[in-house]
Amino acid sequence: MTKDSTFRQSRPATQRRGTAAISVAALGLAAAAITGCSGESTQNGVGEAQARVADVGYAELATPNLSAPAADIPLQDPSATGASESLGQSRSTALVRAADRVAPAVVSVGILRQQQVRQGGYWDMFMGPSTRRTTGFGSGFIIRPPGYDEAYVLTNEHVVRGAQQILVTLSDGRDYGADLVGADGLTDVAVLRIDAEDLPVAPLGTSRGLLIGEWSIAIGNPFAYLLSNSEPTVTAGVVSAVGRHIIPSGQDQGFYLGMIQTDASINPGNSGGPLVNALGEVIGVNTSIFSRSGGSEGLGFAIPIDRALRVAEDLIQFGEVRRAWTGVDVEAVVADTWGRTRGVQVSSVAPGSPADQAGLSPGDRLVGANGNRLGSPIDFEAVLLDAKAGDEVDLAVQGRRDPVRLVAEALPTSRAERIEILRDLEVISVTPEIRAERDIRAEAGALITGISASLSRSLSLARGDVILQINNTPVTTAEEAARALRQLPGGVRVRLYFERNGNWYIKEFSTRR
């Protein structure tokens, strides 16, 4: 992909390299909200949103010992060789060296979107909704997964969500158009590919065994394109906690499970950047902040790098994430008089599933999984989120001396044969395993696993819908759905019955002549 001229036109021509600060107006974030950290602005025509850029100077102040005579205050010539070397060594701390090791691989990710805007009233009635161009900026970093020769850019899914064009700016100032390899909304991970050589790669560490209180460094590069200054920003703090679950608070945010918490400042635009340890190894992907003001208040969160890397490898290899499945559903248990709960209760077990083969039954209480204590169903979901097909899962069951070991499998939907219909629709047959996985009411049907944007708009269908009947023809398999749709003549009315979220709907449409 060639460089995007749309982004090129928005680059300020008069700005020079140097330290700079950006003031972005009207962030408008709700109180005590979990917010993603990608910067965003809107443009109408030439553009509405602007960033004020001002040079910032720094001065170091030394406080003398006023109780000592002036003659006793030692003065050292900074130009002396020994003093210069001493100052240089004291400035080059472990954090400086760690940041210097990763910073070259940190990039800025620019996004161009087209959004529909409704004016309301008679305007929408007669003119319809208008469109406006919006731009967003986030961060990312370059990785080379084990076993791969090609380098990729790792960032957050919410940074590139809905993007029509993506521009990546490297730390050395080079700009490249980027292709989206894949994105996963559940884990908020996305992978980009750029056509470039000699890319610096971030050293990858592990998120296992993190120490509470160890140094953590948040690196981002959100505004490299706007500032004409491609050097990333660095903030430092400590690992405040691990295994944090973040529950959405009414905004358009998903669940974040098993996150790393840090007090390193993670400001808007730093989403997708790396969280680094004192050794200069990436331990997480900066994702969100908990803030009343929209800025950093010491509560930042990052996706563990082990999870992000596993998701990235699936996206590169399969274009989707192959999630682990055990066939067991759990629910919360009744709290004691102090409001505490211990464990989760098995509510259902899919026939023939790994849980069924391991001997689990509805009513069993699970108190631990893979050495992690279970206090709620979210704790159990967090364990499965970090597992993949083929991994062993050890479950501690109340009343049993030995743990129950089962081997996770790939989700039934990922194993099922996909039937493509006219290149716009992809379906799979609903099986008992898929019914249990998706909580589908119908005993049979064709589950939509892929649909083009145009067909989705025209038919109001979406991924996850289950086709049950087409006109008077019941649909029990993917093959039957494909055959019924392909045999429809042109210019006829069609009535399609489908299930969505446990409810049944009817959609009527006409085929093209």
Our answer to whether residue 465 is catalytic in this structure is: no
Return phi, psi of residue 429, to 5°.
Answer: -75, 140
* C-alpha closest to that of 192 among 163, 220, 218: 163
DSSP classification of residue 82 = H
- In angstroms, the Cα distances linking 450 to 322, 444, 511 are 16, 18, 20
* Burial of residue 178 (number of CB atoms within 10 Å: 0-12, 13-18, 19+): buried
Cβ neighbours around 58 below 10 Å, total: 5
Instruction: State how far the Cα of 286 lies from the Cα of 202, in Å rounded to an integer.
Output: 14
Q: Do 409 and 388 touch, CB atoms closer than 8 A?
A: no
C-alpha 248/C-alpha 227 separation (Å) is: 33
Contact 402, 317 (CB under 8 A): no
In 163-232, DSSP assigns E strands to: 165-169, 175-184, 189-194, 215-220
Catalytic residue among 4, 184, 188, 329: 188
Q: Give the sign of the dihedral formed by CA 202, CA 205, CA 210, CA 213.
A: negative
Report DSSP state, residue 79.
T
In the set 4, 38, 108, 158, the catalytic residue is 158
Distance CA 412, CA 63 (A): 68
Neighbouring-strand partners of residue 329: 348
- 188 has catalytic annotation: yes
* Measured distance CA(233)–CA(286) in Å, rounded: 13
Annotated catalytic residue 108? no
Residue 460 has φ and ψ, to the nearest 5°, of: 60, 35
Q: How far is 340 from 138, CA to CA, in rounded Å? A: 40
Tell me the pairing of strands 215-220 and 233-246: antiparallel
Burial code (b: 16+ CB inside 10 Å, e: under 16) for 213-249 equals: eebbbbbbbbbbbbbbbbbbbbbbbebbebebebeee
Which one of the listed residues 240, 271, 414, 429 is annotated catalytic?
271
Catalytic site residues?
Answer: 158, 188, 271
